[in-house]
Structure 1
């Protein structure tokens, strides 16, 4: 991964390779313009992961308690070793939500998904069935995963998407380039976009 000191020209995300990626491209693609802007929405969607109950759910609870959305969808059917034991992601998230004071009746559980795209595909089914008047969603996921979630949400949900990245770990905007782990995680995330674009899951775009 090469370094760059200037913004340079725009490029299509599909054109990114291991050979032409730079720190500047990583920053633009994964982090630029994705900070939560404080807007309210109809639903908060929390994407699943092994550690979602650690930090994504508490952030979603903070949004809920501030009145930013009246309902939530917890996504994730993959069985993983979470801090609460080995279980499906959504189950750990529900347990964490109880500790955070979110009433169970305000949460829809998406129990089947194994990937980010499936998180949002199955969340859309819940919205269409349970809350068809929904017009906007806040997506909560980890910071470096936020752009991919945003673009998938635009394609799959067809709702107004409000991004709310959860800052944690070695791959945040302010530290990803400081460790080998952070750099490798960021590079891997950037290169995943090519797969998603080639398979029609997201539309190509310029950065």
Structure 2
């Protein structure tokens, strides 16, 4: 079954689980840079995963992506930088992208910062850190927008309510998971990235 064949009415728990969680495991590979996508709780769930990868020497730089959203006082990237430094990351190893407002802009604005820091043609692999249930859409957008020579490796970060093993057990988890699958369907239907089989 392809994503384009899915609708809100034919989503089952099995389909939601497969769309969001199947085949997005971290391969453990090293990369040229770690990219962390921002959110309100990114410092809590995503940054520690990125810092672990950094400490494991999987990449020497961390790019934190996310601007000020919904009138907040501080941008997601700036908030994540404070957390990363508190967890021991050297300030000079952090790249800030603080203009993006959504996942598509995360990728587009991150490419500019990657170009400035490394030159895109010199990058072979990036490690992408975001919440597990958000990874499928993020990967699809990155793979579609990034140059073909850059491999995007998933490095998922579990939150409390939307893990593969518990998303269906709470109203919040079920709502997030279902909403994310609808966003993926909309992205495919709008041509943001190609259709794919699940």
- Map residues 1-207 of structure 1 onto 2, 5 A cutoff: 11-79=1-69, 86-132=73-119, 133-158=122-147, 159-207=150-198
- Displacement, 1:80? 5.9
How many equivalent pairs are there? 194
Where 1:87 maps in the other structure, the secondary structure is: coil
Q: Which runs of 5+ in 2 are unaligned?
A: none
- Displacement, 1:81? 8.8
The structure that is strand-richer by fraction is 1
Q: Which runs of 5+ in 1 are unaligned?
A: 1-10
CA separation in 2, counterparts of 1:81 and 1:42?
A: 33
CA separation in 1, counterparts of 2:80 and 2:70?
A: 12
Where 2:74 maps in the other structure, the secondary structure is: strand
Aligned to 1:4: none
CA separation in 2, counterparts of 1:68 and 1:175?
A: 29
Where 1:137 maps in the other structure, the secondary structure is: strand
- Displacement, 1:111? 1.0
Gap change, CA 1:138 and 1:120, over 3 Å in 2: same
Note the aligned Cα RMSD (angstroms): 1.4
- Displacement, 1:194? 2.4
Where 2:139 maps in the other structure, the secondary structure is: helix
| TM-score for the superposition, normalised by structure 1 | 0.90
The structure that is helix-richer by fraction is 2
CA separation in 2, counterparts of 1:38 and 1:80?
A: 35
CA separation in 1, counterparts of 2:14 and 2:173?
A: 15
Gap change, CA 1:81 and 1:102, over 3 Å in 2: farther
CA separation in 2, counterparts of 1:176 and 1:205?
A: 23
Where 1:57 maps in the other structure, the secondary structure is: helix
